[in-house]
Amino acid sequence: MLDLYIGNKNYSSWSLRPWLVMKHFGIPFREHMVSVAGRPFNPTLKPIAGNARVPCLHEADGFQVWDSLAIIETLAERQQAIWPTDARARARARSICAEMHSGFTALRTAMPMNLKLRLRGKPAEPDVQRDIERIVEIWEDARSHVAQGDGPWLFGDFTAADAMFAPVVCRFDIYNVPLPPQAAAYRDTVLAHPALLEWRAAGLQESEAHAHYDGLADNYGGPR
């Protein structure tokens, strides 16, 4: 049995990714939530993860795998369907996951994860808008040129790429970001995933609050 250590579901976008992969592919695991959202580096988490961050996956013998992308790659060594089966689709999926993992800083900063907010939205600042447009470009390219079969996910069937982009899908929904039709359809597909609905419902039940994230409603036109 695997153990997955995650942060608050309302706030922890990084934790959502491996959790969603494990749920979708039916990989058994025990879930442990650690309250970390909105806090700086916390050395007391060192026993849980070598980098003192979550998510972190523990093997049955206690061996740790940290960082969402590293966890997903480790799981994919056992469950090959986690990545697309076609070699070029798989390479493209890895490229966009790495880009998502390391990039889009302006969007992340301006639109932090907070599932309890559903805002009217406002025009994005230029650097944030560039991030939004690049993400839309990634989605449309995957759906139009690389996807295999008729499935609604980025590469046809659900893969690691969909899990890696799930947090930004949530952000687009929270901050009411306007999207062109194909990107909007993909957003709605992700939001309707049963595991994401489960995650979101649990996040809405959490009582822990962080003023930095919760005080953004007025900046984005207030609640819808």
Residue 34 belongs to a domain with what CATH number?
3.40.30.10
Residue 17 covered by a domain: yes
Same domain? For 73 and 91 the reply is: no
Residue 218 covered by a domain: no
If you write DSSP's letter for every residue of 77-91 in order, what string do you get? TT-GGGS-SSHHHHH
Residue 156 covered by a domain: yes
Beta bridge partners of 32: 5
Same domain? For 101 and 182 the reply is: yes
Residue 217 covered by a domain: no
pTM: predicted TM-score of the whole model, two decimal places: 0.95
Q: Residue 142's domain spans which residues?
A: 83-205
* Interatomic CA distance for residues 176 and 143, integer angstroms: 22
Report the relative pairing of strands 64-66 and 56-58 from DSSP bridges: antiparallel
Same domain? For 74 and 96 the reply is: no
CA separation, residue 125 to residues 3, 106, 122, 131 (Å)? 40, 9, 9, 10
Q: How confident is the model over 33-66, as pLDDT tens digits?
A: 998 766 677 888 999 999 999 999 999 999 999 9
Same domain? For 150 and 103 the reply is: yes
Q: How confident is the model over 148-177, as pLDDT tens digits?
A: 777 999 999 999 999 999 999 999 999 999
Same domain? For 16 and 44 the reply is: yes
Rounded to the nearest integer, the mean pLDDT of the chain is 93
